[in-house]
Amino acid sequence: MPLGERYGGDKSESRYCGVETEFDDDMPNLLSFNTHGGFDFVLATLMDPDYRPSLVDDHTSRSRALPFAGSDLVLSLSQWSSHVVGKISSWIDLDSDDETLRKDSEIALRQEIAWASHLSLQACLLPTPKGTTCANYAKCVNQILQSLSGMQLWLRIPLEKSEDDIEAKNPDLMVDGQIDSWELWNSFRLLNEHHTQLSVALDILSSLPSASSVGRWFGEPVRAAIINTNSFLTNARGYPCLSKRHQRLATAFFNHSIQLVISGQPMHNVPMGASELNADTQVEGGWRHPLKSYLDYVAYLYQSMDPLPEQERFELGYRDYLQSPLQPLMDNLEAQTYEIFEKDTVKYSQYQRAVAKALIDRVPDENASTVTTVLMVVGAGRGPLVRASLQAAEETERKLKIYAVEKNPNAVVTLHSLVKLEGWEEVVTIISSDMRNWDAPEKADILVSELLGSFGDNELSPECLDGAQRFLKEDGISIPSSYTSFIQPVTACKLYNEIKSHKDLVHFETAYVVKLHRVARLAHTQSVFTFNHPEYSTKASNQRYKKLRFDIPSDTGSSLVHGFAGYFDATLYKDVHLGIEPSTATPNMFSWFSIFFPLRTPVCVPPGTPLDVHFWRCCGSTKVWYEWCVASPSPSPIHNTNGRSYWVGL
């Protein structure tokens, strides 16, 4: 049964927990025993571990069935696909110096994966490579992947990285005097060209690497986390529990839809009967699965998680879904897009605060009843900024005259209806025009806009406001008054594979709007481009160039950079800001997702090596575009030269 429902929780597949089993040729009994014990699936060896191809003579092997565990008929196909994950024999060593073992391993690997595919299993667990050299293993897996149907292959990798003062437990995984199992996974997946059906199953050990080192894995295609019973501690009542760090890790696995699997023999003498964590665990006749107390504890951790905030629940369907950024100048937005943005009450609350502060600064209390402030909303859409400005005027008891400028004729229709419906005819004048072409009848005291994109300037706010500021008084106020873009390097295997599937250059040179989820943020953000408004300098240019150096924490180990996550932070007025830069993000605001700049070839960054990055904002007569590249530790091509793949039209 599932680990349980959480109030406000998501419905991810990580609610389920499996169990690793020993070989059993009675698969129906094995499955029944474990599912009745509360587990959702078994991680089961498919072949008798005593079988070796070299021990079966040619005549015998041609005349009898392969020595697998029973027939495919012992379970229904739905049982095979829903409740069994195959486990390839652990003795297999495809990079062994022993030629017989190596050949046996190749034959057995192909036989077992072919059988698992025949059974319609959703996934099959590959054994951990036996040493640092895994080229032949990867080659054999790569050949299999070329003709494999939809089944996933999970490569078993221990979550292990030694620190300087810790002696490595497995010398075969040593890299430059340290152990880092991520290096083994990275080598294997690069040899398989990031194949989408190749994933990771992490073995969770009793000791964990640093938080930075563990964090790398959340950008990798981790499908399962196998927790051995010897990783559990014992609480005061004799029940199994996990350390605080292991608890946080398990919760992170749940949040990233990573299956948990319990493995090993029971290490705790738990009293018979109902568990203290879950009163419903007692089984008819007093029988309990020997690992039930471990399952109960995992369920307890799941059910104890905080419910997802409303914003996160809204964004679930957008996680890691790549979207092309809006082209607000070239395209007229549709009603559905307006409606989504208008639901973001947090954003308009911030705008209302900014306008209110500007009105108070603009008009002293003694003049509040006699002075009318001229406010222009440029890019008024369907009126949310008009409403926010009027509410700010009511709140501060200031008088307003509003010009609502909008180029989208469809939105203008809605604006006229809104003005009539709300009785704003004496206060609001609607202008159906592009703000860059309109000749204002008077100068504005306050200019309000919401032209910001996920990267701040990527929806051409600088160009639009530069064109509109001619009708702002010399001492006028622009809301926003400034905005800055930020980037940070990320591991984002899922996004990279999705882009790679298009098999062209264009998709690798496009910046995408995406709700980042299965990514590893490898370093702190750094600022890229800043724009201020109004900008009266005659030498001002909206072209920008920035060179950045990122220092990835030394305890992270090596990491693979698939691209850069982009954000913005905007100052609306004085201390009123909004943005999505992680360290200062406006809570509960969902109008903007991050932007993602991919790299055509991922860059591997060794420990202690800086990552040098270059970003350009380029302006032409009809378009604006970005170019980007990595200069060190290994140079990448400059992406999107002359805006050949991605641009924003003026």
Q: Does the annotation place 434 within a ligand binding site?
A: yes
Structure tokens at 211: 């938080």
Residue 32, SS3 per DSSP: helix
Indicate the helix (H) or strand (E) that contains 311.
Answer: helix 310-315
Q: Does the annotation place 348 within a ligand binding site?
A: yes
The total number of residues written for the chain in this structure:
650
Contact yes or no for 241/294 (Cβ under 8 A): no
Q: Peptide bond before 633: cis, by omega within 30 degrees of 0? A: yes
Structure tokens at 221: 């295609």
Q: Does the annotation place 347 within a ligand binding site?
A: yes
Contact yes or no for 609/367 (Cβ under 8 A): no
Give how far the C-alpha of residue 467 lies from the chain's centroid of Cα atoms, to the nearest Å.
Answer: 37
Q: Decide if 220 is catalytic.
A: no
Strands lying side by side in the sheet with 428-432: 428-432, 399-406, 372-378, 444-448, 472-479
Q: Which residues does residue 204 pair with via DSSP β-bridges, in sequence order?
A: 227
Q: What is the DSSP string of 116-166?
A: HHHTT-SEEEEPPPSSS--HHHHHHHHHHHHH--S-EEEEEEE--B--TTS
Structure tokens at 334: 């549709």
Determine which one of 160, 459, 509, 627 is catalytic. 459
Determine which one of 20, 183, 450, 509 is catalytic. 450
Q: Between β-strands 428-432 and 399-406, what pairing exists: parallel, antiparallel or unpaired?
A: parallel
648 to 94, 128, 452, 500: CA distances (angstroms)? 51, 47, 13, 23
Instruction: Return d(Cα 616, Cα 643) in angstroms, integer.
Output: 11
Q: Decide if 459 is catalytic.
A: yes
589 to 148, 255, 593: CA distances (angstroms)? 43, 20, 10
Instruction: Return d(Cα 184, Cα 169) in angstroms, integer.
Output: 15
Q: What is the DSSP string of 44-107?
A: EE-B-TT--GGGS-HHHHHHS---BSS-GGGS-HHHHHHHEEEE--TT--TT-S-HHHHHHHHH
Percentage helix, strand, coil for the chain under 3-state DSSP, each rounded to 5: 35, 25, 40
Catalytic site positions:
450, 459
Annotated binding-site positions for S-adenosyl-L-methionine: 338, 347-348, 406, 434-435
